[in-house]
Amino acid sequence: MAQKAHSLSHTKWLCKYHIVFTPKYRRKIIYNQYRSSLGAIFRRLCSYKGVEIIEGHLMSDHIHLLVSIPPKLSVASFMGYLKSKSSLIIIDKYANLKYRYGNRKFWCKGYYVDTCGTKLKEEIHSADHYP
């Protein structure tokens, strides 16, 4: 699950990020059929990159994702991939959005990201390893 450290050939990792991003012009568009489609699209795109969605909330005008991203993949490259591919898929699926988002960009530029730490950090600082 999310608390278990993942591993690559020479690396153990537990990298969790809280990411928030919005539709273009912060339109309140994420509801009903778009909401269920976006959830499925995000799950499929994340599985292609080996990213685990721990938790996600789709609000009417923004999205919160708590994801576990492997260290071989930067947050910026993952977000570029997620936003560009999901934008193309959602606009292809719903033709009426083509008129609102003519340039095929469904998402705003930029995003907010924050790391989610563990108790290990506190344990390291409280240990008496260093004089």
**Is residue 69 domain-resident?**
yes
Q: How many domains does the chain have?
A: 1
| Domain around 23 | 13-115
**Is residue 109 domain-resident?**
yes
**Is residue 5 domain-resident?**
no
What does the radius of gyration of the chain's CA atoms come to, in whole angstroms? 17
**Structure tokens given for 7:** 């591993």
**Is residue 22 domain-resident?**
yes
Single pTM value for the model: 0.78
**Is residue 6 domain-resident?**
no
Sequential pLDDT tens for the chain (131 residues): 456 777 767 777 788 999 999 888 777 777 777 788 888 999 999 999 999 999 988 888 889 999 999 888 999 999 999 999 998 888 888 777 666 666 667 888 899 999 887 655 555 445 444 44
**Is residue 122 domain-resident?**
no
**Is residue 63 domain-resident?**
yes
**Is residue 128 domain-resident?**
no
CA dihedral 119, 125, 126, 127 (to 10 degrees): 110
**Which amino acid is present at 65?**
L
